[in-house]
Structure 1
Amino acid sequence: MSNTLRGEVLRSFKAIHKVRKDVFKGDIRALAEGRKKINEEYKKHKHVDNDESIQELVNYAKAVEHELRHCVIQAREVSPGVYQAEIREDIPKLDNVTFNEDCCNNVENSSVKGSTKCR
């Protein structure tokens, strides 16, 4: 393995651990399980020596890091049945569409289901 590729592997290892700390901040169990899983995966592939395979694994690690950073949120139970979501700044936020109850009632009452267009 070239030094450049070795550096990429180490950077991906550090980056995925860093995102683990950010995503699961304050959750001791998730932090420990995440550390364990990441270390297992890197150790499992420690003996791969084909440069193309190593590059594929590095790309996979980057995809996992992106998924954790941009798609995983933490929710904590603050009281029975009530949860508070911890949404970080790097989580993409989408525009919400206002629910229109009248639209649903019109569809239920129409003789041909789906014939009423509502937005």
Structure 2
Amino acid sequence: MPAQQHESILDAAILCAKECEHCADACLDENNNMAECIRLCRDCSQMCWVSAGYISRGSRFIPQIVRSCIEICQACASECEKHDDDHCQKCAQTCRQAAEEYQKVANVAGVA
């Protein structure tokens, strides 16, 4: 899987990682119960950064990584959607878009 063929997934992964980092940081500044949102944003961001590396290298482990990315992005989006903050809503949308891109790779790789 050459990286050039998967620019959209790389772009989505990096954007998702950035938005999750921003959301987690913004949630830290709030004085309400945002612990789960912060945890999931951090997990999602880290996984998206990692996936970008695996995809860029054309690793044989992309199917396993993609499966995890889909699950984590969906969990992060579901949590962020619970909050009215603009940064949470933007993060949720970005996570959903990344999960869709990961699903395209999963479909090609035969991952359900």
TM norm. shorter chain > 0.5: no
Structure whose residues are more often strand by fraction? 1
Larger helix proportion of the pair: 2
Q: TM-score, with normalisation over the residues of structure 2?
A: 0.38
The answer to which structure, 1 or 2, has the higher relative contact order (CA under 8 A, 6+ apart) is 2
If the length of structure 1 is used for normalisation, what is the TM-score? 0.37
